[in-house]
């Protein structure tokens, strides 16, 4: 903890109490991995760092491997600390006579800041997770979780540290079935653990009181509108003018499409006729159509989607295309696009912990600048700041609670959503 000069005794006690409750409220951060940028490095890089994606390799048959010793393509993802969340307020000298007022303000700030962090991570999984599982009816329990497990298994997503978050409304429909499969009796639960149900079908199941409602797709009679739309992964790209090499974000691509009505929406999920998903390692077809998400609606005829379509179904396929192939074939011109989010529904998130990342950051606050400040760093790297400054004109005190962080989904193919009521 930093210096506590000029703080009231109740403020110091209040800070410690809020700090304890703040960490317990960060449910999504418990499920994400984290990476900390050094303060100096962050300042010099505009708080942006390139984080490595899981690397993939290709294998070949036979003893003689002449001609197969090409370089490997290691891909990375840009992650920026672009969220500075603050809960400011003001209190006057008459209000300060009540020692409980600071605690109430602190509790309110804690809950809102924790919600901001949770929601930032939640939105990464909801809008960028490309594995989509639709269920015709309402949530029922184990079979729903098992359906998502089958999708993750068929894609070769690592089996350790799989996380799932079900909206409260969906979870209550599953509770009876899932409760019969858990063994938490007699365990003292913290605020974080109360949101944790148990490991079911390979997922650590949590309830999510603030799940996001994904709207129904509106685009109609949707098709692919150009041939040979495939993506070639590359680690870097050379600037034609300067000759400088720059990292490339390979998670998404632009797709030329057509529709007769409605509009493309960020968050829409879809499949393409004839384009099947491949296992990440074996490159065998899963027998299921690959699912995609719209992350940017550029125009009526252009959408940015995740993941990028990487196919090795042509004679000049690069080694990177072979290693990172994720679809059975390049979509045909005119291939039908089927929208999956037919009805509005809560987006229940599933992901591998290593794919969702939190980047905590810091602020440089010095009491010499005329304010009093306290700070503490949590186990997940987030630093919580409490700062106040008095105004002699009206005997009031301004205060603020601050955090700085960034979030990223490093690999959209290791995360997804489950939607109910899609008959």
Convert the pLDDT of each residue in 83-115 to its tens digit: 888 888 888 878 777 777 778 888 888 889 889
pLDDT beneath 70, residues of the chain: 1-6, 8, 38-47, 53-73, 179-198
What per-residue confidence (pLDDT) applies to 251?
93
Rounded Cα distance, 200 and 181, in Å: 8
Contacts with 408 (C-beta within 8 Å, 6 or more apart), sequence order: 51, 77, 79, 124, 356, 357, 359
- Cut 0.75: pTM above it: yes
Q: What's the pLDDT score for residue 395? A: 82
Q: How high is the pLDDT of residue 319?
A: 85
Sign of CA dihedral 118, 121, 125, 126: positive
pLDDT of 61 reads: 58
SS3 109: helix
Q: Would you state the pLDDT for residue 289?
A: 98
The single-letter DSSP state of residue 290 is P
State residue 272's pLDDT score: 98
End-to-end CA distance of the chain: 54
What is the pLDDT at residue 59? 54
Comparing CA positions, the residue from 377, 366, 368 lying closest to residue 403 is 377
Contact at 8 Å (CB) between 420 and 170? yes
Whether residue 220 contacts residue 338, with contact meaning beta carbons closer than 8 Å, is answered with: no
Q: Give the pLDDT of residue 187.
A: 42
Other C-beta atoms closer than 10 Å to the C-beta of 204 total 17
Phi, psi of 267 (to 5 degrees): 105, -20
Q: What is the pLDDT of residues 266-311, one digit of tens each?
A: 999 999 999 999 999 889 999 999 999 999 999 999 999 999 999 9
Backbone angles phi, psi at 83, to 5 degrees: -125, 115
pLDDT of the residue at 373? 87
Look at the alpha carbons of 33, 37, 43, 45 in this order and tell me if their dihedral is positive or negative: negative
Question: Residue 282 is encoded by which pair of tokens?
Answer: 């074996």
Helix (H, G, I), strand (E, B) or coil at 47: coil
């Amino acid at each position: 903890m930093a210096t506590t000069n000029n703080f009231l005794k109740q403020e110091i006690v209040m800070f410690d109490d809020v700090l304890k409750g703040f960490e317990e409220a960060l449910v999504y951060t418990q499920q994400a991995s984290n990476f900390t940028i050094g303060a100096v490095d962050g300042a010099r890089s505009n708080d942006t760092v390139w984080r490595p994606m899981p690397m993939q390799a290709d294998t070949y048959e036979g003893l003689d491997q002449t001609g197969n010793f090409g370089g490997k393509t290691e891909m990375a993802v840009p992650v920026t600390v672009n969220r500075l969340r603050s809960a400011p307020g003001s209190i006057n000298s008459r209000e300060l006579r009540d020692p409980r007022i600071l605690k109430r303000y602190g509790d309110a700030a804690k809950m809102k800041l924790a919600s901001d962090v949770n929601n930032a991570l939640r939105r990464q999984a909801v809008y960028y997770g490309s594995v989509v599982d639709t269920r015709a009816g309402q949530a029922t329990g184990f079979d729903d979780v098992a359906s998502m497990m089958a999708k993750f298994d068929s894609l070769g997503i690592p089996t350790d540290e799989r996380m799932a978050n079900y909206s409260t409304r969906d979870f209550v429909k599953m509770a009876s079935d899932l409760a019969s499969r858990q063994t938490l009796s007699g365990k003292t639960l913290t605020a974080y653990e109360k949101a944790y149900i148990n490991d079911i079908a390979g997922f650590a199941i949590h309830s999510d009181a603030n799940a996001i409602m994904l709207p129904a797709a509106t685009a109609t009679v949707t098709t692919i509108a150009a041939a040979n739309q495939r993506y070639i992964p590359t680690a870097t790209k050379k600037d034609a003018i300067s000759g400088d090499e720059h990292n490339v974000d390979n998670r998404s691509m632009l797709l030329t499409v057509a529709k007769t009505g409605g509009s493309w929406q960020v968050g829409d999920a879809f499949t393409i006729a004839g384009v099947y998903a491949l296992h990440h390692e074996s490159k065998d077809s899963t027998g299921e159509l690959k699912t995609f998400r719209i992350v940017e609606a550029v125009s009526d005829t252009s959408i940015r989607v995740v993941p990028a379509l990487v196919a090795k179904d042509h004679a000049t396929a690069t080694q990177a295309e072979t290693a990172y192939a994720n679809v059975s074939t390049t979509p045909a011109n005119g291939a039908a696009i089927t929208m999956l989010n037919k009805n509005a529904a809560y987006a229940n998130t599933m992901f591998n912990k290593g794919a969702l990342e939190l980047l905590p950051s810091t602020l440089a606050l010095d009491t010499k600048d005329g304010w009093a400040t306290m700070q503490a760093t949590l186990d997940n790297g987030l630093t919580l700041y409490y700062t106040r400054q008095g105004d002699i004109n009206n005997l009031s005190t301004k205060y603020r609670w601050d955090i700085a962080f960034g979030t990223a989904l490093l690999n959209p193919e290791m995360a997804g959503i489950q939607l109910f009521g899609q008959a």
